[in-house]
Structure formats: C-alpha cells, structure tokens
C-alpha cells in the first residue's frame, strides 16, 4: 500500500503533474489502481501524454479538489490557494519527495542515483543495463531516455530512481544501492554553505545498504560497504580512446581488466557516468558482459546534447546544462565536434543560482564568441536583479540579451552563422520549447 490507510482505488490529486518526475509518478500510481487527476500551470506535450492514459489534467489553480490525497512538488508554495483549501478541507497532503519514498518502499531492491550533475544520464544507463541483464525493474528517470522515456515498468524486483538533492528530497529514500556521482555548489536557496550540502549527501549515503562514490572525493570516504570509481578507485578506465567525442575504454575492476566499452553518446562526462553505473551494477551481481551491452545500447536522453533541427541551415543542439561546470563541459564537447564556431545561447535558471554563482557563470560565458543570454527562467522564485539575465549580460561585454525566441533567430542570422557552425542552446527552463518554435 503506497499510501498508509488509503488503499488502491482511492483518489489522488497531483499539483504540478506535468513535471518530469510527477508525470512518471502519476503513471505509476495509475498502474497501481489509484484514480489520478491533477493540474499544472500550462499546457505541454507531457500533459497531453498523461491525458492519453486517461488522467484528467486541468490548467490553472482554480479547480476544487475532491480527492482524498493531494501531492505537490517542491516548486509549489505551501500558501498556494489550492493547497491551502485542500489543507482546510482535511485532505492528506504529501510532497513529491515523500511520495517517491513511499513508492520505493514497495520494492525489495532500490537503486538511487544522486549527484549535482549527471543523475539523469546515469539513471538511464542503469535502465539499459538492467534491460540487457533481464532484470525485472521499474525506472523513474528525471528526463526522457530515448528508449524508455521517463518511466518504464517490466517488473517489481528493482526500483531505479533519480535522487534529487533539492530541498533534501533524496532523504526520503532508503536505498539498497546509492550512487553519488559528485557534489558541487548549487541550490544555494536551500543550502547555505558547503557543509550543509555535504551533510545532506552523507545522510543520503547513510540511508543506503551499499554506496558507490567517486574515489576523488575524500568527503564521502568511510561509509560501510562502499565501492569507489574513477581515479585510483576500485573501478577505473584505462586505454581511453575518443573519436568524434564518443569514448571507448577498458573497465578495470580491482586491478583486473574486464571488458572494453564503446559508448554511443558524446562527451567525456558520459564515460565517467558509465563507470559509476558499471560499479553500481556489479554491486547487484550483474555480469561485465551484460553491463557492456547495456551501456552500448544507451543512445542518450532528450535535452542532453540533443540535435533538434536547424536555424538558417546550421545545426541546433540543446542541452539541459544550467550550472557553470555543466556549461563548460558541454561547450568543450561542442567545440570538439564543430569545424566552425559554436554559438552559445543560454537561459539562466533561477535568480539565486545565477546570483550566487555569478562569477563562475561570467567566466564560462566569456569563453564563447558573442553569447546570447535569454531571459531568466524563474521557476519558483521572484524577480531579483542581482541574479537576473540582465545582470549577467552586464558582466559579459560580448554577450547580448534577448527575451523572445524570434530575437534569438534574428541575432544568429544577423551575426552571420554559416555552414560548419553549431548553435548550442543551454538551460533547464523553457528555452527548449522556445527554440523549437523558431527552427527552419
């Protein structure tokens, strides 16, 4: 029983149902016999997808909630009228994070992937590994894998999920295996210093039976039943080769070469993520050959170096990168596969992140030629000039500010983009949908 005291068949209302994580959970609840309904702020492809399952979704916050259980995302203000009315009516309110933890408890084995960068791709890689190994699993991915989407069910033995650190939501998970890819300064609206962030990751690891951590991060050493990857860890890459930014390497386990893996996605970060997934899968007793087949079948995730079309005949690649370290990594990958100039279009995501990492954003954007900065995606936040796109542009003299997708296209064409160039569109907000509207 996912909801204690509320058996299958009862009604669940989900506020913010169109989000990647919430939509996956909505489909899962439906498969478990719950009656699901919800709302979101705007129409989207994902909402139309949910309606295809027979899940009613309304747009706006005026709808009266009749269901017994109300689930809300971390982006929803607890003073939101719809939520306040539900609370006054005695409905049971549950956060998305708590729901995810309750869903996980229904499975005998839980694999959780955390980290400030790379969670979605690594979770998707593990789904491919489990499929190759014939495992009976259900996966909940924070993005759309090109094969599995954001939710896939083929059994109830393993629950595979992305574990998000925002608002410490991953502390609702008790994992059989917890993977930590990295820890980096982020979400400064809920982590006031590095110690708080590191402490949350350590608590996440303590909730797991086994942990997989990067060998280079001494802050994560010492957990019982831990294995490490990268550097001088138990799992290493040797004989690293790259062609067109697709990496091949031999995996060494405790000093013994096991298999050679050829990835079919671009970027060095994918090789590092694959090594973490390899270590996790070995903890679960999966053979090296099955892991190899799974990793090589992985073709990527939407909005992760995804070619979406062209502008004036020039290829456009979209990526979810919204942190300075991620922007730097994907920009280097783009330069490696481009003969001409990489034209960078970036949408800042939240004012607090932009404000608190302003120097890092400035440094990485100055590496690009005439970058274009799109209006900030505020998410859950109110306007703050110090963290705005305008403030960011003022610190990058080569950059230009735009506020409509049509301006992006006009600016690129006016600047003379040409054959051999590449347009790289980055951000975790609505820039993806915006750029799709102005492609050739």
Tens digit of each residue's pLDDT (9 = 90 or more) over 134-180:
999 999 999 999 999 999 999 999 999 999 998 899 999 999 999 99
Contact predicate 291/421, CB 8 Å: no
What percent of the chain stands above pLDDT 90? 85
DSSP SS3 for 387: helix
Per-residue pLDDT at 380: 81
List of long-range contacts for 305-310, beta carbons under 8 Å, 24+ apart: 305/265, 305/266, 305/267, 305/330, 305/333, 305/334, 308/425, 308/432, 308/435, 308/436, 308/439, 309/436, 309/439, 309/440, 310/439, 310/440
Tens digit of each residue's pLDDT (9 = 90 or more) over 78-101:
778 888 888 999 999 999 999 999
- What is the DSSP pairing of strand 57-59 with strand 35-40? parallel
Whole-prediction pTM value?
Answer: 0.94
What percent of the chain stands above pLDDT 70? 100
């Amino acid at each position: 029983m996912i909801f204690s005291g509320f058996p299958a068949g009862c009604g669940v209302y989900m506020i913010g149902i169109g989000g990647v994580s919430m939509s996956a959970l909505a489909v899962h609840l439906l498969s478990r016999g719950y009656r699901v309904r919800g709302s979101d702020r705007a129409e989207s492809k994902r909402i139309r997808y949910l309606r295809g399952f027979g899940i009613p979704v309304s747009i706006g916050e005026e709808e009266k909630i009749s269901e017994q259980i109300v689930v809300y995302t971390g982006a929803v203000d607890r003073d939101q009228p719809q939520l306040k009315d539900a609370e006054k009516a005695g409905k049971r309110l549950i956060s998305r994070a708590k729901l995810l933890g309750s869903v996980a408890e229904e499975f005998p084995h839980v694999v959780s992937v955390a980290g400030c960068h790379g969670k979605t791709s690594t979770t998707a890689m593990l789904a491919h590994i489990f499929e190759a190994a014939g495992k009976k699993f259900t996966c909940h991915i924070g993005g759309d894998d090109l094969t599995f989407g954001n939710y896939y069910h083929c059994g109830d033995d393993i629950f595979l999920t992305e574990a998000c650190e925002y608002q410490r939501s991953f502390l609702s998970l008790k994992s059989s295996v917890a993977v930590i890819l990295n820890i980096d300064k982020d979400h400064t609206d809920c982590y006031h210093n590095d110690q708080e962030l590191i402490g949350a990751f350590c608590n996440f690891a303590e909730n797991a039976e086994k942990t997989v951590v990067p060998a280079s991060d001494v802050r994560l050493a010492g957990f019982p039943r831990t294995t490490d990857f990268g550097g001088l860890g138990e799992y290493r890459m040797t004989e690293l080769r790259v062609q067109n930014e697709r990496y091949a390497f031999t995996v060494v386990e405790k000093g013994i070469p096991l298999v050679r893996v050829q990835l079919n996605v671009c970027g060095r970060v994918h090789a590092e993520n694959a090594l973490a997934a390899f270590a996790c899968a070995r903890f679960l007793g999966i053979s090296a050959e099955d892991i190899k087949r799974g990793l090589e079948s992985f073709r990527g995730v939407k909005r992760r170096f995804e070619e979406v079309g062209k502008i004036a005949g020039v290829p456009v690649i979209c990526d979810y990168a919204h942190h300075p370290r991620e922007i730097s990594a994907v920009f280097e990958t783009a330069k490696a596969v481009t003969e001409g100039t990489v034209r960078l279009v970036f949408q800042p995501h939240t004012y607090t992140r932009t404000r608190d990492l302003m120097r890092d954003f400035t440094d990485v954007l100055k590496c690009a030629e005439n970058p274009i900065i799109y209006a900030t995606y505020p998410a859950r936040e109110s306007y703050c000039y110090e963290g705005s796109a305008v403030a960011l542009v003022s610190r990058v003299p080569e950059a230009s500010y735009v506020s409509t997708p049509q301006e992006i296209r006009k600016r690129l064409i006016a600047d003379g983009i040409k054959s051999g160039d590449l347009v790289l569109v980055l951000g975790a907000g609505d820039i993806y949908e915006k750029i799709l509207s102005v492609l050739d």
